[in-house]
Amino acid sequence: MNKIARIASMCVVILLGLASTAMAQTAAPATSLILAGGAVGIGLTVMGAAFGIGRLAASAVESMARQPEVAGSIQTAMIIAAALIEGFTFFALVICMLYAF
C-alpha cells in the first residue's frame, strides 16, 4: 500500500473513532470532538480533490504532448472531469460543515 493510501486510511480510522465518541453523547451541544471530526473531513476532502485534479492535469498534459492533434478533445474532457471533481468536493464540504457546525 502506498504512503498516501496509508495516511488516508489512518485519517479515516481517526475520524471514525472521534465520531463514535462524539455521537454517543446525549443532547449535548457541539463538542470539540465533533468539530475535530468535521475539520478532519474537510481536510481530507480538500486534499483528495487537489490530488485528483493534479493527477488529472498531469495526465492530460502528458497525453497532449504525445498526441498534439487531439489536444482540443483532451482539454475538453479534462475540464469536464475537473468540474465534476469540484462539484463533488463542494457537496462533500457542505456535508462536513453541516455535521461539524
In the chain, the N- to C-terminal Cα span, in Å, equals 34
Residue with cell 504532448: 65
Q: How big is the chain by its Cα radius of gyration, in Å?
A: 18
Q: Write down the pTM of the prediction.
A: 0.63
Summarize pLDDT for 56-88 with one digit per residue, the tens: 999 999 999 999 999 999 999 999 999 999 999
- 20 is written with which cell numbers? 463514535
pLDDT at 42: 84
pLDDT, position 20:
61
pLDDT in tens, 22-60: 565 555 555 666 777 777 888 888 899 999 999 999 999
Q: ∠37-43-45 over CA atoms, to 5°? A: 100
| Cβ proximity of 96 and 45 under 8 Å | yes
